[in-house]
Amino acid sequence: MNTSPLATVTLPTLADAVDEALAAGLAGLAEPCLWCGAPAPVVVKAEFWSGRVTLRCPDCGSELEGVAPRRLREVPR
C-alpha cells in the first residue's frame, strides 16, 4: 500500500518567481522586487510582441531581464 498523499503541493521555484515577476512587469502590475522586497521595480524596457522585459529596482539597483513565458502573457478565456 502506498502511503504518499494523492495530491502533493508543489513549491514554487526561483525560475517560477522570475517568470511571474517578468510577466507582471510586462503587464504593468506592481510586484515586489525579488531580491530586496521593494514595492515596485521600474520597467526599463518592454517589448510586448516578443515578451522581453527589463526591470530595475530603484532601492537595491538589481536588474532583471528576460522573456516572460507565453502561458503567463496570454489572457485566459
Task: Quote the pTM value.
Answer: 0.77
- With vertex at residue 42, the alpha carbon angle to CA 27 and CA 31, rounded to the nearest 5 degrees, is 55
Mean pLDDT over 28-52 rounds to 89
Query: Is 90 exceeded by the pLDDT of residue 36?
Result: yes
| pLDDT attached to residue 29 | 87
pLDDT confidence of 53, banded at 50, 70, 90? very high
Q: Is the pLDDT of residue 15 over 70?
A: yes
Spatial separation of the C-alpha atoms in residues 14 and 34, rounded to whole Å: 9
- Rounded to the nearest integer, the mean pLDDT of the chain is 86
- Residue 43 is placed in which grid cell? 520597467
